[in-house]
């Protein structure tokens, strides 16, 4: 172990956020884990967390108050200083770490995540690293399974360090390296925004095929609408802007070319509300609350909140406080595909 891990902390972790949001993620960690020290590792997106709590207690804290901006964590179970290591000894060190942690790996479905921070001195590619570890993993009786792993080996190369850690997808908060979930871009994809709604489905454990009637506010050009239609949901899309021509004659789509403040619907019409207006958060909240009677009790709502103000944490608190007059807010999370915004997952109160 290097001097890096010889601190007063009981456990040390790497935290990852969306680019530019590390300061907010660090602030969250400080508030959630009393006595935790945090410092930037790779500017803007990764940081070290020195927790005064052991592994289980640290994870319990983070799970009891799920963070908005902390996207991924990786325990640091081993550290190698590359500047003090011969190149020929680097991959054998990783193999030795795997053997040392064999108890957590034996007989399990394992995925290996390798991340290289820009400018790191780690000499191997992601592909070469994984290939070199395949045999070691097989020798300890693990099956390599990138799609549904029980346990993830996380390797992060940053500056002159190689950091090794093991955890389950739940513990690490994602089954994607650094929480950077990727979806295949389709040829006819209407907008990149579709990825946000796809990611929300996974992140919040939803299944859009279970819904009957959706209201999509701020729908144009139609990425979110197209996903819901693909899932078999009927959609009423509202936007003064134009929807993509490919959606025009869809039998399950009703398109109202209007401002959302001008529309009214019968009570209890929709069991799903989605809203991606990229607009002032408080104006968006007012629109959503004005339309709440058109939602069934227990209806699900997925909305994005634009973080346009100088105090994002305060904006989020204010927005949630207002929405809680009608909704139960289950989760606020900055998804990997969110840019200057976060996503809320709510259900309408009974
Ligand atoms: C980020 S885009 C939505 C992208 C869409 N979710 C997709 O997947 O293609 C924001 C949309 O909100 C619409 N919008 C903004 N204010 C609105 C309002 N008051 N009523 C209805 N739509 C609004 C804009 O016209 C714009 O098309």
Spell out the domain ranges in the chain: 3-179, 194-348
Q: Which two tokens stand for residue 154?
A: 């996380």
How far is residue 327's CA from residue 344's CA, in Å, rounded to a whole number? 11
Ligand 1 and 306: CB distance under 6 A = no
Span 3-179: which CATH code? 3.30.2130.30
Q: Please list the pLDDT of the chain residue by residue as tens digits (350 residues).
A: 444 444 467 999 999 999 999 999 999 999 999 999 999 999 888 999 999 999 999 999 999 999 999 999 999 999 999 999 999 999 999 999 999 989 999 999 999 999 999 999 999 999 999 999 999 999 999 999 988 999 999 999 999 999 999 999 999 999 999 999 999 888 888 988 999 999 999 999 999 999 999 999 999 999 999 999 999 999 999 999 999 999 989 999 999 999 999 999 999 999 999 999 978 999 999 999 999 999 999 999 999 999 976 789 999 999 999 999 999 999 999 999 999 999 999 999 99
Q: How many helices (H) and strands (E) in the chain?
A: 9, 16
CA of 218 to the centre of ligand 1 (A): 3
Q: Which two tokens stand for residue 39?
A: 């410092």
331 three-class SS: strand
CATH topology of domain 194-348: Rossmann fold (3.40.50)
Ligand 1 and 165: CB distance under 6 A = no
306 is catalytic: yes
Atom of ligand 1 nearest to the CA of 190: 9
25 upstream amide cis, omega within 30 of 0: no
CA of 284 to the centre of ligand 1 (A): 11
How far is residue 177's CA from residue 232's CA, in Å, rounded to a whole number? 31
Taking residue 322's Cβ as centre, other Cβ atoms within 10 Å add up to 16
Ligand 1 and 255: CB distance under 6 A = no
Ligand 1 and 277: CB distance under 6 A = yes
Q: What pLDDT shows up at residue 188?
A: 82
The answer to whether residues 190 and 244 touch, using CB atoms and an 8 Å cutoff, is: yes
How many Cα atoms are found within 13 Å in the side-chain-facing hemisphere of 237? 30
Atom of ligand 1 nearest to the CA of 277: 12
Pocket test of ligand 1: the residue of 240, 258, 341 to mutate, having most ligand atoms within 8 Å of its CB, is 240
CA of 312 to the centre of ligand 1 (A): 21
Ligand 1 and 240: CB distance under 6 A = yes
CA of 77 to the centre of ligand 1 (A): 45
Pocket test of ligand 1: the residue of 186, 194, 218, 243 to mutate, having most ligand atoms within 8 Å of its CB, is 218
3-state helix, strand, coil in the chain (%, to 5): 35, 30, 40
Pocket test of ligand 1: the residue of 219, 237, 285 to mutate, having most ligand atoms within 8 Å of its CB, is 219
CA of 275 to the centre of ligand 1 (A): 8
Q: What pLDDT shows up at residue 3?
A: 43
Nearest Cα residue to atom 25 of ligand 1:
241
Ligand 1 and 275: CB distance under 6 A = no
Ligand 1 and 69: CB distance under 6 A = no
Nearest Cα residue to atom 16 of ligand 1:
277
List, in sequence order, every residue forming a beta bridge with 256; answer none if it has no partner. Answer: 238
Residue with the two structure tokens 């840019």: 339
């Amino acid at each position: 172990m290097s001097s890096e891990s010889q601190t007063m902390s009981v456990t040390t972790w790497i935290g990852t956020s969306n680019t530019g949001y590390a300061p907010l993620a660090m602030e969250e960690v400080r508030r959630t884990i009393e006595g935790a020290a945090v410092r930037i590792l790779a500017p803007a997106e990764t940081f070290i967390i020195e927790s005064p709590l052991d592994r289980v207690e640290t994870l319990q804290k983070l799970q009891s108050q799920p963070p908005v901006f902390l996207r991924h964590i990786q325990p640091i179970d081993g550290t190698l200083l590359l500047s003090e290591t011969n190149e020929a000894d680097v991959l054998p060190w990783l193999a030795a770490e795997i053997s040392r942690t064999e108890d957590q790996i034996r007989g399990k479905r394992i995925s290996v995540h390798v991340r290289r921070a820009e400018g790191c001195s780690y000499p191997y590619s992601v592909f070469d690293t994984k290939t070199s570890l395949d045999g070691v993993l097989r020798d300890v009786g693990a099956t390599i399974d990138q799609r549904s792993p029980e346990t993830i080996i996380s390797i992060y190369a940053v500056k002159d360090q190689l950091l090794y850690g093991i955890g389950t997808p739940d513990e690490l908060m994602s089954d994607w390296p650094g929480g950077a979930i990727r979806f295949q871009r389709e040829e006819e994809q209407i907008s990149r925004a579709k990825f946000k709604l796809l990611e929300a489905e996974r992140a919040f454990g939803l299944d859009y095929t279970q819904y009957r009637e959706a209201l999509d506010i701020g729908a144009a050009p139609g990425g979110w609408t197209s996903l819901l239609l693909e899932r078999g949901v009927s959609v009423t899309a509202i936007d003064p802007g134009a929807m993509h021509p490919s959606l025009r004659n869809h039998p399950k789509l009703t398109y109202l070319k209007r401002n959302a403040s001008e529309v009214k619907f019968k009570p209890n019409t929709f069991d799903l509300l989605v809203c991606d207006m990229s607009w002032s958060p408080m104006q968006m909240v007012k629109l959503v609350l004005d339309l709440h009677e058109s939602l069934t009790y227990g209806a699900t709502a997925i909305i994005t909140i634009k973080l346009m103000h100088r105090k994002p944490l305060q904006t989020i608190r204010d927005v949630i406080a207002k929405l809680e007059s009608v909704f139960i807010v289950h989760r606020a999370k900055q998804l990997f595909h969110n840019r200057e915004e976060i996503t809320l997952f709510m259900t309408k109160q009974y």
